[in-house]
Structure 1
Amino acid sequence: MQNERVKITGTEILSNNWYTLKKVIYEYQKADGTWQIQQREAYDRGNGATILLYNRERKTVVLTRQFRLPTFINGNPNGMMIEACAGLLDKDDAATCIVRETEEETGYRVHQPRKIFEAYMSPGSVTEVLHFFVAEYDHSMQVHPGGGIEQEQEDIEVLEMPATLALEMIGDGRIKDAKTIMLLQYAALHQLV
């Protein structure tokens, strides 16, 4: 459904290096009926998927730890982030993507992950829609140690921990990643662990 209160009048590519950063000029009709010219920058990196692996019997979850430059330059002293496994769709559907990413990053081969919702993670500046999944795991599903793809310069540590500890880590600030917080709270709310 097209929003008739928005008319894009110009787009300029500011950067097309890693992903695409555009400046968009548009007319916006305010609630009082008047039109206003606005401009914003939007970062387009494609859509992605994320997953929480959980073991209901053992009450554990699998997370990852890796260096994230934007957090480092914004005050995270070592730049390391504890996160749920995630990746960009890369022209795949969300379920295919998350199965691939789960195996690459964690070493676990999951079958039929369950999609729970979609969310814009930073709608003021980033176009990405993130597809959220959960999947139950056990150690028989681990086909290799994980760690990511060398060609993609990934250096990912796989963490298995009690879900109660992961939830505590939200409260004390050791987990600050939004997608991970959302997935852990979903797991707690729905008594997955």
Structure 2
Amino acid sequence: MDYTINNEEVVFDNHYKMLKANVSYDTFSGDNITTTRFAFHRGDSVAILLFEKDSSSILLTKQFRYPTTRHDEGWIFEIPAGSMEKDECPLTCIIRETEEEMGYKVYQPNQISNFYTSPGGSTERCYLFYAEVTPRDKTSKGGGMDSENEDIKTVKLPISEMDSWLSEKIFDAKTIIALQWFMAHKI
């Protein structure tokens, strides 16, 4: 099956971009559809599930997320994550983001997955990593970058409370994916 992207243009360009294109693609019945589509383009991202061995806890962030206010949330729990720079390696990015947001140095994070965050509307692909840390790996305060107006709090989720948090407190898809991976592979 084939597709063709025609006349792709940026129709909004601020912190993120909105793309518009005329697309043609084959159908499962052998026909062809030609239509206009839009895509939110923010680049690729990384995220990491940090397991602190000494406390038997998952390290989460809590931070304000404007889009979640549409559903009366605001501050949500997430695994640490960030946007990749142009041509940046996912491994390099996750090491940097972990230190910026959490204050922890990670040396050999393992990539456990990559996935599209919302393939019907966004170009973003997320690279998901896992690493184990101890309090000795905490080398700076974390909390995010002041220059990016970040205000990030570190929260420890005890493994014993993971089930209840998944059903009551975790609403972020990448965090749900990571915690379910942990339950299937580490517990």
Q: Give the TM-score of the pair, scaled to structure 1.
A: 0.91
Structure 1 gap ranges (5+):
none
Identity score, percent: 36
CA distance in 1, matches of 2:120, 2:73: 27
Q: For residue 174 of structure 2, give the secondary structure of its aligned residue in structure 1.
A: helix
Equivalent AA in structure 2 for residue 155 of structure 1 = D
Residues 45 and 82 of structure 2 are in contact (CA less than 8 Å); yes or no, is this contact kept in structure 1? yes
Is residue 2:177 matched to residue 1:182?
yes
Counterpart for residue 136 of structure 1: 132
TM-score under structure 2 normalisation? 0.94
CA shift at 1:57, angstroms?
A: 5.1
Aligned position for 2:85:
90
Q: Does 1:81 align with 2:76?
A: yes
Equivalent in the alignment of 2:18 = 21
Match of 1:61 among 58, 61, 75: 58
How far apart are residue 106 of structure 1 and its match?
Answer: 0.4
1:115 is aligned to 111
Deviation (angstroms), 1:166: 3.4
Residues 8 and 25, structure 1, Cα contact 8 Å, conserved in 2: yes
Contact 1:167 1:184 in 2 (8 A): no
Distance in structure 1 (CA, Å) of the matches to 2:74 and 2:114? 27
What's the CA shift for 1:78? 4.1
Listed as ranges, the gaps of 5+ residues in structure 2 are none
Quote the Cα distance in structure 2 between the aligned partners of 1:132 and 1:140. 23
